Amino acid sequence: MESVPEVLSEQRSNLPAGPAAIQVEDLSTGYQDDPVLEHVQLSVAPGSLVGLIGPNGSGKSTLFKTMTGLQPPWQGRVLINGQPGRPGPEVAYVPQTETVDWSFPVTVGQVVMMGRYPRLGFLRWPRKPDHKIVDHALEMVGMGGFKSRQIGQLSGGQRQRVFLARALAQEPSILLLDEPVSGVDATTQHQIFELLDHLCKDGVTTIVASHDLSCVAQRFDQVLLLNRTVHGFGPPEDVLTQDLLNRTFQSHLLLLRLGNRTFVVEDPDHFHHD
């Protein structure tokens, strides 16, 4: 994978230094009469790499949608780089599953070019710099040789990398990823996390929802424990404790520390589904 190209780095180097990249203030929201998030407080510094941990149904996707401006708050607010959150190019979101007609005749390059549309607007066609950004994004995720391939011909892991490339082509200052390494092999997982490290060093704030607690413990600067509200936020060594994990998952988890590595497993004698 290539390092972040200048065409992407220039925009990121101009991130505001003052406000938090993401500021969530007493956020409550949900769907119809069903509350999903309640009194969420959070402040994420620019360039942070945050692992988002929580059980199924804990509100992780809803939090992402609220940060993108797709889900309105019932109470409180979300600020993105100091401004009220709204749909736009600054925040790129890659959901866990994409609603795609895999038989539709669209190429990998066309899918990634969709990431340029928030910056192009409705009345502009892609130009040479846009195609250059798309090519760089594909190279960054190791898919440079697949630009003309039909999207339906790809494996699940390859599709995941294409959707990540589409997000990178958007030139976001904030990247929200839901299980980005699901279905990819160990080598590709390592490459993706190396890429995320590069992006964060260039000032891109990245939040990754994951069920792999061990990976989060080893690779992320900060961990956010979420289940309807925030149960912990900070460095992995401070947040991934037995008490906070049990409180978040409402079940008993076992923490195993070997040197500087932390492994987290569910205790089958105590675990239960809500």
Q: What's the confidence (pLDDT) of residue 97?
A: 67
Over the stretch 184-193, which tens digit does the pLDDT of each residue have?
777 888 888 8
Q: What is the pLDDT of residues 46-65, one digit of tens each?
A: 999 999 999 888 999 999 99
The whole-number pLDDT of residue 83 equals: 87
Alpha helices by DSSP H, 76-185: 108-113, 117-120, 128-140, 156-169
Whether the pLDDT of residue 3 is over 60: the answer is no
Average pLDDT over residues 64-70: 94
Percent of the chain with pLDDT over 90: 55
**DSSP E strand boundaries for the chain:** 22-31, 34-44, 49-53, 75-80, 83-84, 91-94, 174-178, 205-209, 222-227, 229-234, 253-258, 261-266
Residue 154 counted as domain residue: no
Would 54 be classed as within a structural domain? yes
Note whether residue 10 is domain-resident.
yes
Number of folded domains that form the chain? 1
CATH code of the domain covering residue 249: 3.40.50.300
Q: Is residue 121 part of a domain?
A: no
The range of the structural domain enclosing residue 84 comes to 6-101+174-266
Residue 70, domain member (yes or no): yes
Judge contact between 266 and 247, C-beta under 8 A: no
The reply to whether 127 falls in a domain is no
Q: Does 163 reside within a domain? A: no
What does the block give as tokens for 10?
């220039």
With contact defined as beta carbons under 8 Å apart, do 265 and 211 qualify? no
Q: Is residue 13 part of a domain?
A: yes
